[in-house]
Amino acid sequence: MATKKITFDPDSGVPSGINLTMYGGSDFNVNFDIVTTSNSAYDLTGYSGSAAMSKSVAIGATLGITSSFTVGFTSAYDGKLKISLSETNTRGTKEGRYVFDILVGKGGTTYALASGNILVVNPVASAI
């Protein structure tokens, strides 16, 4: 999956909107480059992160957390973050539309970094 760019402005209080696609039975990995409003790398040193998704059942309604992603800072100083789910976790995810969010925190303050939709598609055929 391609790297997604997120402009992070902690003072705005508004997460970036991002839509993703997940294929059931495949590893799910998304890399993010986090930048400042002046387009330079956002230093995430000392931050922690979490990310989760929920099944969307109607506009504004969800069924609670369906999956929690693994969040890793591949280069915190350079603003590089990755979320992932293993093949085992995606295999059990039912096809449909989900909502997700990514949170980061530092010094007791939590920021909504990104949120959006994930379209989960399960394969029709399997590898031979």
Taking residues 74-89, report their average pLDDT. 95
Domain, as residue range, for 81: 4-9+16-121
Number of domains in the chain: 1
Q: What global pTM score does this model have? A: 0.87
Whether the per-residue pLDDT at 127 is higher than 60: the answer is: no
Strands laid side by side in the 16-23 sheet: 16-23, 109-121, 96-106, 48-58, 61-68
In a domain, 128, yes or no: no
At 2, is the pLDDT very low, low, confident or very high (cuts 50, 70, 90)?
confident
- For residue 40, what is the DSSP state? S
Helix (H) or strand (E) holding 89: helix 87-91
Q: What is the CATH number of the domain that holds 57?
A: 2.60.40.10
Across 1-5, 12-16, 50-54, 96-100, least confident range = 1-5
Q: Which residues pair with 17 in a beta bridge?
A: 115
In a domain, 126, yes or no: no
